[in-house]
Every structure is written in structure tokens, then in C-alpha cells.
Homo-oligomer: A and B are copies of this chain.
Amino acid sequence: TRSFKIAAIAGDGIGKEVLPEGLKVLAAAARRFDIDIEFVHFEWASCDYYLKTGDMMPPDWKAQLSGMDAIYFGAVGWPATVPDHISLWGSLLKFRREFDQYINLRPVRLFEGVPCPLANRKPGDIDFYVVRENTEGEYTNLGGIMFAGTEREVVIQESVFSRHGADRVLKYAFELARARARKHLTVATKSNGIAISMPWWDGRADAVGADYPEITVDKQHIDILTARFVLQPQRFDVVVASNLFGDILSDLGPACTGTIGLAPSGNLNPDRTFPSLFEPVHGSAPDIAGKGIANPIAMIWSGAMMLGFLGDAPDAPRGCREAHDAIVAAIEEVLRSGPRTGDLGGKATTVEVGDAIAGLI
């Protein structure tokens, strides 16, 4: 049977602490479900590497990674002496674009045993997906500064959308909504204030949606949409958003379920022309890095998503979906009654939580 080759990249900060726990759990799942996974470790795509070499990645990074089935990624961006346009644009944002990972899929779910910051919400009330466009939109370095350094300074920042880019993420979101029980899709917009791109985006949602008459579509402006995440989280099923709005909603959503420390993400290339990348939503978290107290669950859950995605391919070995489910069940069990890290009010270490989850596989 076919085996997987997975690039393991720790990156910076707590990335180095949570990645080993994710690998530990994946190894346990691979053993139990008889999946053949080879992990290939890369020290680059980290600020350490940049500080040593002057580059975030070696010149042949793309060739080195292109043969991989997926990238399992910790976090990047620390120390702060390395500016974002080097650390992030030189690694994570580059992967998203150059590997055409045009879907950023981010589940938002309230677990039993996790204290919810929203009053009177119980597991089941919050259980949805944010589908974020991941390659274009508001994240650009296009534009410039006129009269720079003077009182007359004017700055232009351009967002770039394409029908190609919008339609494929909308289609993905409609398909996901169709596969779910409630068949409800929220489209994030701001067409009343951002007058060119967002009315056009609304139009693309209508056009793509014409093929999905069974899906209820609810267009919401981003301002009131963030308010509704807090006031009526149970109303959401699948939420599709531009790069920026998806970024916002996929931090706010997990916050409403207790902690960013649980939230996983898949940077997906659904066409499988390049490897997809799986990473926690949280970043390198410099404030707690090096202490061994970071919550590894976002990393571990990201690993489960990776197996699920790999298992959906036509030629995938058996057992991947089962492995995904087993990891998620182990996470549920540990959140219910196992050791927990400080962000969840516990005192357990990163390793203790990783061991507990691996032990249940």
C-alpha cells in the first residue's frame, strides 16, 4: 500500500514545543491503523534559520517540499528582530501562494469540558467551519507611498480579487455546506462600505450559489457578523470569507469556544497539485515559548485534519479517516477529563497533554 511522506517543520517559538506532540500522536495513530507515514524534518522556514543564513528558506525549498504529501507546520515569527515581511511573507504566506493552498479550512467547535467565555452556551451550540480564501484578496504588497516622509504623504494599498480565486473558494464552501446537515452558508461581506471588490464578491456568491438551490445563503456584513459570533453562535454552519475577513473570523470563532490553543487549520490545495499545509491557528506565542506549557491540541487536531484530507484522495491507503476520528475522539476525552494546560485553567505541561492523547489512540 501507498505510504505518506510528510514534511515536519517546527518553525519558531512554541512551534518547537507543540510539533513533537503532534508527531507523537500521529505516530500512535499510524501504528494503530497501519498507515505508513515517513516524517522528513526541515530546520528552515524559521527565524533561527534566517538569523544564521540570511534567508528564511534555502533556494531549492520548493523542490524539496514538492514531493511531500503534506506539510505539518508549527508556527513562524520570532524573535521580533526579524520583521514580518521577512518571516511570514518568506515562509507561511509563500507556501499558501506558491503551493496554491487556496482554501484555509478552520473548524470552530465548543468541546465538553472547555469553559466557554460566552454565557450559557453548551457543546453543540457552536460547531461550524470558517472557509477562508487563502491566496489573494486583501493580503498584498501592491500599492505604494506618494510624497513619502512628508506631511502630504498618501498611501495606496491594493486588494486583488479574481473570479478564478473567488469562485473556487465559494464553490468549496457551498460543497461543504451541502455535505452538512443544516445546509446553511454565511457569506461574509462589506459591500456597503468597500465599494468595488465587495459588491463584486456578493455577485460571485450569487452566481456560484445558483448551482446550489438547496443551500440557504445568508450574506452578512463583517461588522454585524462578528457581533453575531458572540450573540448567536448557534446560527452558523459554514462561513465563507475573503482572506482578511476569514483571518478575523477564524480567530474570533475559536475565542468564542474558549481558547485559540485548540484551533486547527488546513491550508488546502484541493486539486492536490502541491502539498497542503496543516498548522495550528495560534502563532509562535513568544510570551509562553520555551516554558513547555503551550497547549498542543491545536497542533494535534491539525494532524488529524491532515490525515483526513490525505485519506480523501482517490489512491489513499485505508484507515486515514478512522485515524482522524480516533485522534479527535482522544482529544474530546482528554478535554473532558484529562490533563489540561494553563490556557484551560490547568497546570499540565505540553508533553503531559500530548502523552495523554497519544495514550488513548
Residues of A that sit less than 8 Å from B by CB: 77, 84-85, 88-89, 93, 115-120, 138-145, 150-164, 190-200, 222-224, 226-228, 230-231, 243-244, 247-248, 250-252, 254-256, 259-260
User: Which residue in B143, B145, B223 is a CB contact (below 8 Å) of A158?
Assistant: B143
CB distance from A162 to the nearest CB of B (A): 5
CB distance from A56 to the nearest CB of B (A): 14
A-B contact pairs, 13 of them (CB 8 A): A116-B119, A139-B194, A143-B158, A143-B196, A143-B197, A144-B196, A145-B196, A155-B162, A155-B200, A157-B196, A158-B159, A223-B252, A230-B255
Number of copies: 2
Main secondary structure of the interface of A (DSSP, over half): mixed
Task: Give the residue name and chain of the B residue nearest to A233 (CB).
Answer: B117
CB of B156 within 8 A of CB of A152, answer: no
Taken together as a complex, chains A and B put the C-alpha atoms of A256 and B252 apart, in Å, by: 12
> Are B231 and A195 in touch, CB under 8 angstroms?
no
Q: How far is the CA of A193 from the CA of B97 in the complex (A)?
A: 13
Q: How far is the CA of A235 from the CA of B77 in the complex (A)?
A: 24
Which residue on B lies nearest to A230, using beta carbons? B255
Given A154-B162, A155-B196, list of 9 further CB < 8 A pairs?
A117-B119, A138-B194, A140-B195, A145-B200, A155-B161, A159-B159, A190-B244, A226-B248, A227-B255
The answer to whether B154 and A157 have CB atoms under 8 Å apart is no
The answer to whether A194 touches B118 (Cβ under 8 A) is no
Which residue of B139, B145, B163 is within 8 Å of A195 (Cβ)? Answer: B139
Query: Are B227 and A230 closer than 8 Å at their CB atoms?
Result: no
User: In the bound complex, what is the Cα–Cα distance between A159 and B156 (angstroms)?
Assistant: 6
